[in-house]
Amino acid sequence: MRVLIIEDNQDIAASIYDYLEMQGYTIDAACDGLTGLHLAVTSDYDVIILDLGLPGIDGVDICRRLRQEAQKLIPILMLTARGSLENRLEGFNVGADDYLVKPFSLKELAARVKVLSERSGRIPPSQLLVGDLSLNVGTHEVHRAGQCIHLNPILFRLLTFLMQNAHRVIKREELECAVWQDNPPDSDALRTHISSLRQLIDKPFDSRLLYTVRGFGYKFTDKNAKD
């Protein structure tokens, strides 16, 4: 199992490094955001331990960029000294899988890393599945209920992001950023593409997956959308 630690506090980084190494993990460490992001994009890890406050690019930004630009699904455990609810929600909104507030015990950290690393081993990162809809990030194949669905590149990016963030409310701006980065064409473009996507992946089938959450954005789920 390979773990990447991105943490600028040398003492904390060293103690995590030593503790996890004793448990048999192979570890890389970065002490600033840019180096960490570079390692995360260019190498394969089973878990990333990511500090929120970092010089250069902060933890929230790294998380967002890994999820949206590099489409990396590696489990991320976010560390933060700030324990407020707001930060907690921000961490989850950008795609962190778990959250630990400093100071924490190394034993607890190791337990959470173990859970996350097992999760990463079970799910092949290239295959996304929500209900009876599957999408392969590598081959670009999309299937629902045994039928092959062809999507143009924008709809494919849109669906990939929706599936990577399934079962939670996704803000319109998040989706626009995932599809067009910083240059969304105009405010109606997303709505138009969502509507085209619905025609292809929802309309011909019995159950619905893509829901509009009025005033917020969208939710992609095979469970009750109000949960």
Residues that bind Ca ion (CB under 5 A): 8, 51, 53
Nearer to Ca ion, 7 or 46 (CB): 7
Nearest approach in angstroms of CB 57 to Ca ion is: 12
Nearer to Ca ion, 46 or 51 (CB): 51
Q: What share of the chain is helix, strand, coil (3-state, %, to 5)?
A: 40, 20, 35
Nearer to Ca ion, 66 or 142 (CB): 66
Nearest approach in angstroms of CB 17 to Ca ion is: 15
Nearest approach in angstroms of CB 7 to Ca ion is: 6
Residue (of 31, 200, 171, 19) closest to 108 by Cα position: 19
Nearest approach in angstroms of CB 53 to Ca ion is: 4
Nearer to Ca ion, 35 or 136 (CB): 35
CB atoms within 10 A of CB 112: 18
Q: Which long-range contacts (CB under 8 A, 24 or more apart) does 171-175 make?
A: 171/93, 171/216, 171/217, 172/216, 172/217, 172/218, 173/217, 174/93, 174/217, 175/217, 175/218
Nearest approach in angstroms of CB 8 to Ca ion is: 5
Nearest approach in angstroms of CB 78 to Ca ion is: 11
Query: CB–CB of 75/119 below 8 Å?
Result: yes
Nearest approach in angstroms of CB 62 to Ca ion is: 12
Query: CB–CB of 149/143 below 8 Å?
Result: yes
103 preceded by a cis bond (ω within 30 of 0): yes
Query: CB–CB of 123/144 below 8 Å?
Result: no
Nearer to Ca ion, 59 or 217 (CB): 59
Task: Point out which residues pair with 101 in neighbouring strands.
Answer: 80
Rounded to 5 degrees, what angle do the CA atoms 97, 114, 39 make?
Answer: 65
Who contacts 119 (Cβ-Cβ below 8 Å, separation ≥6)? 75, 97
